[in-house]
Amino acid sequence: MNMHKYEKWWMLFGSGTLLIFLIVVGVSAFYMGSTPPYCATTLDPENVREHDSFQELGLKQLDDNEYSLTILASAFDYDVGNPEKVIEIPKGASVSIYATTTDVIHGFEIAGTNANMMLEPGYVSTNRYTFKNAGEYTLLCNEYCGVGHHLMAATIKVVE
Amino acid sequence: MSKVEQREQTTDPHEDVDLKGTLFGVAIVGFFILFSWFGVWALFLSR
Amino acid sequence: MSTAIKRFPKNESRLYMAYMYVAFISLFIGATMGLVQTLERAGAITMPSFISYYQVLTVHGIILALVMTTFFIFGFMLSSQSKTTGGYNNTERNLSWLSFVVMLAGVIMASVMVFLNEATVLFTFYAPLQAHVIFYIGMALVIVGSWINGFVIFKRHARFRKENPGERTPLLSYMAVITMLMWQIASIGVAVTVVGQMIPWALGWVDSIDVLLSRTLFWYFGHPLVYFWLLPAYMMWYAVMPKIIGGKIFSDSLARFTFVLLLLFSIPVGFHHQLTEPGIPEFWKYIQVVLTMVVVVPSMMTAFSMFATFESRGRELGAKGMFGWLKKMPWKDARFLAPFVGMVFFIPGGAGGIINASNQMNQVVHNTIWVTGHFHLTVATVVILTFFGITYWLIPHLTGRAFTPVMNRLAIVQTVLWTVGMTIMSTAMHWQGLLGGPRRSAYSDYLGNADTAAWGSYQVAQAVGGSILFVGMIVMIIIFINLAFFAPKGETEYPLGEVHSLEAPAPKVFENWPLWIGLTLALVLFAYTIPLIDIIQSKPPGAQGFKLW
């Protein structure tokens, strides 16, 4: 089985490119903390509201520029701790988001940001996001969950 | 390498063909992949 | 008479045409649904009372991505194996009919449930959304039915090797075997979740389901599923296209080698569809990302082979300079044009796929309509245009008719319509996705914020593109009906690429099936054992079923 000289060059260039991608995301994930979303803890999907993690919903300041944001999703609503469905976050804040669902799988997407996680029954999804850019962002569901899927939303305001 | 294989290699249909156009074509593909990937990566870093 | 011109015996043509009828009826229904979706999302129409957006979406996904593809693929693959190995015997042919009947029964069962609004769960039917049990039984029948065809394809290839000891096996038969091996190994995952988890749960025999396990089993299947679509397109590109342009197969050995690599690396990569999910260890997500990058390699080799095939032929015809060979290609032959356009669309399609799989970068695009843009490039353009290209010679070959110059011109129109429509629609989808627009969502103003309002113009663009695609589909259906029933009688060639006479036979190791199956399974075990144990051991209580539609 013979390979043309140019094909060997191409495979070297192509594989090299893929290796570069893997190194960039790998270093960023394992050494710089830029991980995909993961599980903070598991719980009983039929008793979510009773769980410790979900007693206080909404934004809570932990430290200088460190916050936690706890949100509960259900069909077809995001409970962000207030009926206005608005969360105000200071620009530059690092927020650890904790969210889960009380029923089916929901998405958790703050449009225009990297905050994008799946919420699955029995798991508390989490990731840490720094809100670098001011603006008004819509939190919405991007995983089909039933007839009201496209009606689930809240507003995240990142303020100066 | 046996004599038979040697003979077959020198008359291999791949050795003589000019594939510069092919090299150019795959290079375009490669650069497209690079640019689009780093484009989205830049977006990711900026958000 | 050469094998290429000689027609199949009637009992075989009927079998392959049966698959084709199902495929094209599915295309008609599915693409019509697609039009409805783009119009609804653009705010141009509202859904009537008797059917919901999500029902339409469920039909669209299942009937195009599961039914149309599978049935077309079997019609093409079986005909290509038969043509190049010397035909099927009665047992093999009857088993394939059995496969057809079982799969069709499953399709009908599932479709009826969807139309009755008992299974509005989309193409991925994720738990804990719970459909009617008949839907799951239907899906299980489609999968198990397909295994029968796999068995036929393995058996026929083994028979060729036994009857022709020492001879190089036909490339198309070899590739069909690889494709079905990949399919059988991969579909075990979806079979286990459907039969082992969902059916007992839907029947009430168990009252909860392990959601993460179900999704993991699904996506273990879900990624190789897209290779089940892609590999038959590659079969046409490697083993048929050279004949259409009058050239030779660039390298029979390299083609087999890419297929071996595709078998090994298409399966242990399902986590790249689950990158934003909880409960899967970060390390193992990354390992499967690495394996995903490896599966890009055989496609890169394929790109080289395709360019090289065209350039070799072009130079043979006297082309000079770096690009002269482009002019020598048969642009006016739709059998060439459609698959060629498919190849071109693989450039953005493949690039987007690499972006999707890039670990934490997936958060930029996950479940946005960028993903929809991506797979409309890959399956709905690369693969489908190749299949349309196949249609132009396969159908008339099966029906004993001619592909007339008029139909050829119409086919070129079809290709242009598809290209224009898809460019508009997919580009708008990619861009709206980057702006955060979600996929799988009916029309909504959300909370009236500026960010969601900005998506409107992209949705309108998708409706424009989608409408052009719809017209393109109608043109394709017209061509199909012509080639099946009305075209003048004639002899249409089944184009079979020839291997260069000077090319050395492929290394024997490529037919060492226990080796390749063993390595495939080893890679799957490597990529999945530890995370699966973790998923099962750390699981929370299971979830109830929900019917939220």
pLDDT tens string A111-160: 999 999 999 999 999 999 999 999 999 999 999 999 999 999 999 999 99
Q: How confident is the model at residue C158 (pLDDT cuts 50, 70, 90)?
A: very high
Task: Please identify which of the residues C54, C71, C221, C227 carries the catalytic annotation.
Answer: C227
Per-residue pLDDT of C449-458, as tens digits, reads 999 999 999 9
**C103 CB-near residues (< 8 Å, 6+ apart):** C70, C71, C141, C142, C145, C146
State yes or no: pLDDT of B2 exceeds 70.
Answer: no
Interface test mutation site (partner A, options C277, C289, C365, C535, max chain A beta carbons within 10 A): C277
Report the alpha-carbon distance of residue C515 to residue A140 in Å, rounded. Answer: 48
How far is Cα C412 from Cα C508, in angstroms, rounded to an integer?
41
Which residues are CB-neighbours of C508 under 8 A, at least 6 positions away?
none
* Residues 6+ positions from A148 with CB-CB distance below 8 Å: A75, A76, C548
Give the mean model confidence (pLDDT) for residues A90-107: 98
- Classify residue C192 as exposed, middle or buried by CB count within 10 Å of its CB (0-12, 13-18, 19+): middle
Q: How far apart are CA C73 and CA C75, in angstroms?
A: 5
Tell me the count of B-C CB pairs closer than 8 A.
Answer: 76
Instruction: Evaluate whether the domain defined by A38-159 bears CATH number 2.60.40.420.
Output: yes
**C359, C362, C431: which to substitute to probe chain A, counting the most A Cβ within 10 Å?**
C359
Phi-psi domain of A85 (left: phi exceeds 0; alpha: psi -120 through 50; beta: other): left
**HSE toward the beta carbon, residue C299, CA cutoff 13 A:** 25
Q: What does the pLDDT read at residue C301? A: 98
Helix, strand, coil fractions of chain A, as percent rounded to 5: 20, 40, 40
pLDDT score of C3 more than 80: no
Nearest to A21 among B19, B26, B37 (CB): B37
Give a three-class secondary structure readout of C23-60. Answer: HHHHHHHHHHHHHHHHHHHCCCCCCCCCCCHHHHHHHH
A158 and chain C in contact, CB less than 8 A:
no
Question: Token digits for C280?
Answer: 């899967």
d(CA C184, CA C461): 39
Classify the C-alpha dihedral A9-A15-A16-A18 as positive or negative.
positive
The model's pLDDT over C109-126, given as tens digits with 9 standing for 90+, comes to: 999 999 999 999 999 999
| Parallel, antiparallel or unpaired: strands A94-101 and A66-74 | parallel
Domains defined along chain C, listed by start: 10-496+516-537 (1.20.210.10)
Tell me whether residues C347 and B32 touch, CB distance under 8 A: yes
What pLDDT band is residue B6 in, cutting at 50, 70 and 90?
A: very low
* C363 DSSP assignment: G
From the list C250, C439, C480, C510, the catalytic residue is: C439
CA A131 to chain centre: 12
Extents of the domains making up chain A:
1-35, 38-159
Instruction: State the pLDDT at residue B17.
Output: 85
Q: What is the pLDDT of residues C472-522, one digit of tens each?
A: 999 999 999 999 999 999 999 999 999 998 888 999 999 999 999 999 999
The C-alpha of C526 sits at a distance from chain B's nearest C-alpha, in angstroms, of 28
> How many Å apart are CA A131 and CA C335, to the nearest integer?
52
Cβ neighbours of residue C75 closer than 8 Å, sequence gap 6 or more: C16, C17, C18, C19, C20, C23, C394
Tokens standing for residue C27:
């295309």
Instruction: Please report the pLDDT score of residue C412 as a whole number.
Output: 98
Report pLDDT for C252: 97
B 1-20 residues with CB below 8 A of C?
Answer: 5, 8, 11-14, 17-20
